[in-house]
Amino acid sequence: MSKGYRSEPAPRRGDPGDWFYTQEWRRTVAPLDAPSLRKDRPILVLGSDSPLSARLVEALRAEGRPVLLALAGDTCMRGGPDWFVVRPGEGGDIEAMIDSLRAENRLPADVVHLWTLAPKSPQAGPVARFERVRDRAFRSLLSLARALGRRGFESKACIHVISNGVQEVAGEGSFAPLAALLLGTCRVAASELPGLRFRSIDLHEAEEEAGFGPDVVRRILAEVVSEAPDDVVALRGRERLVAHVAPLRLGARHGGPSWLRERGVYLITGGLGGIGLTLAEHLARKVRARLVLLGRRGLPARDAWGAW
């Protein structure tokens, strides 16, 4: 987090059982239409082959909003005044698009990110699936945030990230761990770039199977044009749920088998940092663990280990 926006750590509570929090979902009403001061500024839609993309663009234009469309592709080009083709994993493509819009005084007030909703290829292997999600979920959002954050705005721009099956709201048991890259990027980028706002709007997987019907389009349209204050939203059927962080009281654990395995092998990523080494020391003392410490930097020279 940038130094100027780093918050002071909260005072530690005495009882470790009071240190924890969990995410809860609360039902809320649909957002109301708001008189928008941003109506004349374009909306940039990062569109896909999903039927939702074309329907949402049509609905936004019917509302009188100027729409810019960026399609995910294998090349970078401008097909017309209002549409582009960019490679989601190539930050230079996204920066070039934003630079063009800035030169034309057409920077968007809102961005609707639909790139993770594109149909999946059943023939793709696990590596190809990961790379696709990495580019469309993580790299594209990071590049977009950097490009917009460097250009500056008179008012805060909002990026609405539409996902499918990322949030587990009521024990659905079917969600996309890789697409959770979206959530982490949204949270971190919002802290790093105070001139941007990120909203996560998650749909149920069943909506994709049903072809993203008109009701889904209307609900997403309402989220985008209403300037609703909620940053993490899940749409489940007719319900709208908003995420809240609530305290989670954990009681002391008495008896029962240990979750740690005696002489077990434990791999700690970031194991050469302060927290990693503290955890490694605890495991070594507690269960005589065999440890593999993975870090980005190598060990110092052996004769310097005593001072390290």
CB atoms within 10 A of CB 78: 14
Helices vs. strands in the chain: H and E counts, helices first: 8, 12
**Global pTM?**
0.80
Q: Domain boundaries in the chain?
A: 16-247, 265-307
Residue with the two structure tokens 């790299």: 139
Whole-number Å distance between alpha carbons of 280 and 269 = 11
Provide the pLDDT for residue 10: 63
Provide the pLDDT for residue 17: 80
Which are the contacts of 147, defined by CB distance < 8 A and separation ≥ 6? 91, 94, 95, 97, 98, 99
pLDDT per residue of the chain (308 residues) written in tens, 0 to 9: 344 334 455 666 678 788 899 989 999 998 876 555 567 789 999 998 778 899 999 999 998 899 999 999 999 999 999 999 999 999 999 999 999 999 999 999 899 999 988 666 667 788 888 888 899 989 999 999 989 887 665 567 899 999 988 888 877 666 666 667 888 899 888 888 888 899 999 998 777 666 678 888 999 999 998 878 899 999 998 899 999 999 998 887 777 778 899 999 999 998 888 899 999 999 999 999 999 999 887 777 888 877 76
Helix or strand or coil: residue 247? strand
Provide the pLDDT for residue 209: 63
Provide the pLDDT for residue 76: 94
153-192 burial, b for 16+ CB within 10 Å, e for fewer? eeeebbbbbbbbbbbebeeeeebbebbbbbbebbeebbee
CATH label, 16-247, candidates 3.40.50.720, 3.30.70.20, 3.30.200.20, 3.40.50.11460:
3.40.50.11460
